[in-house]
Amino acid sequence: MSLTDRLGARSIAAGGVGGVAAYVLGYLFVYITQRSGVEEQLEAFNAIADLFGGDPIPAWQAIGWLFYNAHFVATEVPQPLGGVRVENFVASADGLSYLYVVPPLLLVIAGVATARVAVAETPTDGAAAGALVTAGYLPAAIAGAFLFRYAVGDATVTPDLVTAVLLAGAAYPLVFGAIGGAAASLLGGRE
């Protein structure tokens, strides 16, 4: 029996759901823990933007930048005289480095759950099943990269699209989902 036959549509669906859940829960964790700090940081900018008739930056979008920064995806920030500066707000702020643990932890948990649904018996099968969380995480990461774009005139503040897709959307769920899936098969406990 091939690996595809053993994993099946149910496992792929579980991986997709697990990936979306890991993405949403990761964003919600960052939102809940960082909302007040982000709103405070945005007050001055939003007051100036309001004064000149611009749109204020919504906190939920800026929190999205932090969420992508927790995946080591830089935020592209346009400069007043042209050009773009790349920024990782998690790396440049004191006390936020714990956010780097959130996406991997949630993806490992999603990988464990997916491997359990797949009834993976070997670490190889567990890793393959766990990696299926990419089926949900990748589309969510791509959608989020566009959702968290903030227009500033003709420029935008946005997560870097290439690393949002390749690193946050593909590499993270493949690696950490596979680790969780392999661990699930080693932990046993299935009936």
pLDDT digits (tens, 9 = 90+) for 87-132: 999 999 889 999 999 999 999 999 999 999 999 889 999 999 999 9
Q: What would the mean pLDDT of 157-161 be, rounded to a whole number?
A: 95
How far apart CA 40 and CA 139 sit, in angstroms, is: 31
Over the stretch 37-66, which tens digit does the pLDDT of each residue have?
988 888 776 666 665 556 778 899 999 999
Residues 48 and 43: their CA atoms lie apart, in Å, by: 9
Q: How far is CA 105 from CA 30, 35, 36, 78, 180, in A?
A: 13, 21, 24, 32, 9
4 band by pLDDT with thresholds 50, 70 and 90: low
Q: Which amino acid is at 158?
A: T
Higher pLDDT, 189 or 134: 134
With 0-12 / 13-18 / 19 or more C-beta atoms within 10 angstroms meaning exposed / middle / buried, residue 94 is exposed
Task: Give pLDDT, residue 165.
Answer: 98
Residue 190's pLDDT is: 47
**HSE-CB for 171 with a 13 A CA cutoff:** 10
Q: Is the pTM of this model over 0.85?
A: yes
pLDDT tops 60 at residue 78: yes
Sorted by where each begins, the domain ranges of the chain are 3-73+100-187
pLDDT of 191 over the 50 cut: no
Nearest to 111 by CA among 18, 23, 31: 18
Q: Residue 81's pLDDT band (boundaries 50, 70, 90)?
A: confident
Whether 152 and 78 have beta carbons less than 8 Å apart is answered as yes
Residue 34 has pLDDT above 50, yes or no: yes
How far is 7 from 122, CA to CA, in rounded Å?
12
Q: What is the dihedral of CA 182, 74, 59, 40, to 10 degrees?
A: 110
Q: For residue 17, which amino acid is it?
A: V
